[in-house]
Chain A
């Protein structure tokens, strides 16, 4: 029920985003028709033809109606840059972005939750201050700087990481596509060398993205663990002589995890935005770098498609967060 209502209530927001980006893109300076004509001395006729092809000769409200009905039919327009339908481009590139973002979120959670728990177990200790310092520094380093410095250390100095361009080097043959996540596809194909190569490409961008979001996750874990550790049920659990591990992990952490899930949802959205920077640094062939290239060459359709995709991902992420809530806390019904 709750999940369904949530989905319904986010539809107007999705629509708002759509209209907003449409208007935003239509006030762009410069005439894209001229841009995509054969050259600076393209004839007036040619420009008119491109303009017609792009639907630019109609009034703005008309263009909006056409645009919306197109989207209803799953047609996001055609990219002038690649010459392909935007939907196809996005579908090809989305797995790369998602693989990167999910890996980064996973790394961040694996690092942040134990850090937060350790800090909460001994508030005021060296560990607590260390975690706090790490968090304070983590949010201050822009992802593009940490990414470049990681390249310097692990590629140039240590030679451990491969050339930081793209998802896989040109000599490795791609596995048959199943999930689109290269690391998983290689495993499914039983190609361990390929899997390792893909992981090596993935790890640096994922870590530089994760570094930026460990702080909020660790902070909320600590704060929420402090509350949970100070509660009556933890005192009771300890007083009946349950093992320390059971008290901390099963009782305290389970109850402290709800706010962490909420923040993880927000962090995921931040990361989708930060993708632009990381994908540029590592020449990652994802949707964000695609949208950026389109943006810099005034190609409307891919940018709108990208923004719409981001908005839809959001609705989806919120839904998943709701469902996770239900799993973590059975009192929250998702029916």
Chain B
């Protein structure tokens, strides 16, 4: 980052403190995910039936569930799994999507049209249904949640990288690189991809929130994560049985955790977009 960009970023952050808060929030979630096991007050999987379904109190900040497990501890431990699923899914689709999209955008022609058509078809489909079918087909395991989430994120990256590279394929510095004898392969990987990276970073941040929601949705309907593993989506699913008898904390706190995580990633993404391109502010 050059000093001008840095100064611009600081200026933007000052005018938009929300982005700074969001960045701090994301950092907090990451810290919780890393150090979770050392800061929880109770064991997240050991049940204690004598303390089942207690409302939030000083001893149990977020209450206890039907097996007497501390909801707060489970929320903390779940952060690692939820973030890991989202980050690895988005990571996979970013790497594949950026490379495929960049080569398509650079090459143009038949291949580009073919891939573009495929991506359009995929995006036109209810992606959650697609993810659901894939998890069921590949097997009901966490790895497959990651794969399914990665695949439904893929079209966004392909399309984005394709568009970004397409407008740059004939600009001066690309021509110059080619004139210097760089192969097409190297022009794409060493020149174009790094150039579109900042724009892709925005997309990543926005997609992470979406990936978290998707993964939680899948485990909510009973795919992927299995009890007693603490995970936000499955915690909501387990708590759902008790909502009509008024045990709100079993749903509200995992819901709040999901919401905060998604909110932080979305606000960070929006903020980064403002920093990169002030014109796109909406």
Contacts and interface: CB of A to CB of B under 8 A. Distances in A.
Interface string A27-53: 111000000000000000000000000
Given A151-B244, A296-B222, A145 B263 contact: no
Contacts of B132: 276, 292, 295
B243 A148 contact: yes
Interface string A238-272: 00000000000000000000000000000001101
Contacts of A281: 240
A51 B200 CA distance: 49
A274 to B, nearest CB: 6
Nearest to B256: A145
Classify the interface of chain B: helix, strand, loop or mixed. helix
Contacts of A280: 220-221
Most chain B beta-carbon neighbours within 10 Å: one of A136, A144, A298, A303: A144
Contacts of B138: 27
Interface stretch (A58-66, A81-89, A182-190, A306-314): A306-314
A273 B128 contact: yes
Given A139-B266, A140-B263, A222-B282, A310 B252 contact: no
Contacts of A288: 129
Interface residues of B, number: 45
B170 to A, nearest CB: 29
Contacts of B201: none
B29 to A, nearest CB: 13
A101 to B, nearest CB: 11
Contacts, number: 134
Contact of A145 (B128, B133, B258): B258
Interface in A272-304: 272-274, 276-277, 280-281, 288, 291-292, 295-296, 298, 303
B84 to A, nearest CB: 18
B251 A149 contact: yes
B213 interface: yes
Contact of A152 (B233, B246, B267): B246
Interface string B203-236: 0000001000100110011100000000001001
Given A141-B255, A142-B213, A13 B236 contact: no
Given A21-B133, A149-B251, A144 B125 contact: no
Interface string B103-138: 000000000000001001100111111001110111
A140 B216 CA distance: 12
A196 interface: no
A148 B221 contact: no
Nearest to B216: A142
19 contacts: A24-B134, A25-B137, A140-B266, A141-B258, A144-B236, A144-B240, A145-B254, A145-B259, A148-B251, A149-B255, A151-B244, A156-B248, A269-B124, A269-B125, A276-B129, A303-B133, A306-B129, A310-B129, A314-B124
Given A156-B245, A295-B132, A295-B136, 11 more contacts: A13-B124, A25-B133, A27-B137, A28-B136, A137-B259, A140-B259, A144-B236, A272-B126, A296-B222, A307-B129, A310-B126
